[in-house]
Amino acid sequence: MQDLRDAVINALVEARQAGADLSVVVADSTSTSKIAPFEKAFPERVINVGIAEQNMVGVAAGLALSGRTVFTANAAPFLLARSNEQVKNDICYTDTNVKMLGLNAGFAYGPLGATHHCMNDIAIARTMGNLQIFAPADAVQAREVTRYAIEHQGPVYIRMDSDKVPVLHNNDWTFVPGKPAVLQKGHDTVVFCLGTLAHEALAAERPDITIVSLPSLWPLDEQAVLKIIGAHQHVITMEEHVLSGGLGSIIGELLHQHRLRQTFTALGVPPYEFTHSSSRSALRRQFNIDAAGLRFTVEQLALRTIA
């Protein structure tokens, strides 16, 4: 069981020790980001702007224009929403070398309710044009995505979870931008998962389904995804995100563009619906994006196929 944030911070420490010209800007989010090891080793490389996400983005862009690779780290519900204009103009439009970590995405803040649930970050990020978008499922993916982001020149958004989850990959797993990660091979039904929902899919204990993690949402190797879809009759997506503009939209658009005939079921938060205060497990259960919800969905698809 490993925290994705630990993997990211360790990768940043290693990169800085190796000579990478890195800085990190936080918005009163030193504990949320778990930045302490990096800050202890390189105190002059961490800037805390306080609860001021728009300033955080502007400062990060300014540092990047001086030649540094800059990471921002703060709560996902307040990053792209509160700083939308700054992300658009200061980072994306000007193509600055800033990497944004959206922490505690999805229902991570549980009882704090709709104001703190991050339900539309992928939808917003997809409108930014040159913003690469990643959502790691485990610590190995998080580490390798971070290493890639450090080397990549240009804007990056990484959707991060706050839970400790099992490691799904060996240490020698290689991240290739756009490439889907097949976690389990089955037949008839394929399930595409956003971030750590891959663990819920695996917990469903359905060896007959194919489970695919998409750590890279943009860029996306569409041909590889289409090849996986083509080997199945049913397609399901699972996301801790609203169904408008997220993973369901990405896969649904591919199905439509290529006139594919597979049945399609998108699991997530319905459009035009606010979430409420509850535990993360209860919210996942409500929207059928837990193991039990996936089992039910697969069983219903099998019954319809027989009928």
Model confidence pLDDT, tens digit, residues 162-190: 889 999 999 999 999 999 999 999 999 99
Mean pLDDT for 275-295 is 97
What domains are there in the chain, each with its CATH number?
2-165 (3.40.50.970), 181-306 (3.40.50.920)
Mean residue pLDDT of the chain comes to 96
Kindly state the tokens that stand for 59. Answer: 């400062």
pLDDT, one tens digit per residue, over 189-216 is 999 999 999 999 999 999 999 999 999 9
pLDDT reported for residue 276? 95
18: Cβ–Cβ under 8 A, 6 or more apart, which residues?
none
pLDDT, one tens digit per residue, over 213-222 is 999 999 999 9
Taking 70 as the threshold, does the pLDDT of residue 273 lie above it?
Answer: yes
Percent of the chain with pLDDT over 70: 99
Mean pLDDT for 59-80 is 97
Taking the C-alpha atoms of residue 275 and residue 217, their distance in angstroms, rounded to an integer, is 24
Taking the C-alpha atoms of residue 216 and residue 22, their distance in angstroms, rounded to an integer, is 23
179: Cβ–Cβ under 8 A, 6 or more apart, which residues?
216, 221, 224
Taking 90 as the threshold, does the pLDDT of residue 272 lie above it?
Answer: no
Taking the C-alpha atoms of residue 245 and residue 255, their distance in angstroms, rounded to an integer, is 15
Is the Cβ–Cβ distance between 264 and 278 less than 8 Å? no
Taking 80 as the threshold, does the pLDDT of residue 305 lie above it?
Answer: no
Taking the C-alpha atoms of residue 191 and residue 182, their distance in angstroms, rounded to an integer, is 10
Strands 181-184 and 156-159: unpaired
Kindly state the tokens that stand for 62. Answer: 């300014």
The candidate with the shortest Cα–Cα distance to 303, out of 247, 240, 234, 236, is 234
Which residue type is seen at 161? D
Query: Scanning the structure block, which residue is given the tokens 């069981």?
Result: 1
pLDDT reported for residue 77? 95
Taking the C-alpha atoms of residue 27 and residue 5, their distance in angstroms, rounded to an integer, is 16
Taking 70 as the threshold, does the pLDDT of residue 307 lie above it?
Answer: no
CA-only gyration radius of the chain, Å: 19
